[in-house]
């Protein structure tokens, strides 16, 4: 069965600092991978996705993630944090098959201080 593990339930950075949110997946074959952001009392917003094209994926709001098969990782990064980045971030995995559900990690809360 597929699963994702997000290391660190809470990450705190200063404004302007590098953001690194970790995600490792478990799958017998390389899956599709996603990062979502959720602001308080709101739904999910897709940041970026990996679907077997380029291993370095660029998303919205300056975020990017690199798929590393050898490390079974899909870490999310942003060179310079902004106050508005403070939110909950979820890594998710799905099978390479249409109509399959996403399996979510437990989430990482990102705090940004001035």
Residues lying near other proteins in the complex (CB under 8 A): 32, 34, 36, 41-44, 46, 49, 51, 90, 94, 96-107
- Total residue count of the chain as it appears in this document: 114
Which CB atom, from 5 or from 15, has the smaller least distance to other proteins? 5
| DSSP state letter for 40 | T
Smallest CA-to-CA distance from 44 within 58, 34, 32 is with 34
The minimum distance between CB 112 and other proteins, in angstroms, equals: 18
Q: How far is the CB of 6 from other proteins (least distance, A)?
A: 9
Nearer to other proteins, 17 or 101 (CB): 101
Positions of E strands within 22-107: 24-26, 32-38, 44-50, 56-58, 64-68, 73-78, 87-94, 103-104
Q: How far is the CB of 91 from other proteins (least distance, A)?
A: 10
């Amino acid at each position: 069965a597929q699963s994702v593990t997000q290391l660190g339930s809470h990450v705190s950075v200063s404004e302007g600092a590098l953001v690194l949110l970790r995600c490792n997946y478990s799958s017998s074959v390389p899956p599709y991978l996603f990062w979502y952001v959720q602001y308080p009392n709101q739904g999910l917003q897709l940041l970026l996705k990996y679907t077997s094209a380029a291993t370095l994926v660029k998303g919205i709001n300056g975020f990017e993630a690199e798929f590393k098969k050898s490390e079974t990782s899909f870490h999310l990064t942003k060179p310079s944090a902004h106050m508005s980045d403070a939110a909950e971030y979820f890594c998710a995995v799905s099978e390479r098959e249409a109509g399959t559900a996403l399996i979510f990690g437990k989430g990482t809360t990102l705090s940004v201080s001035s």
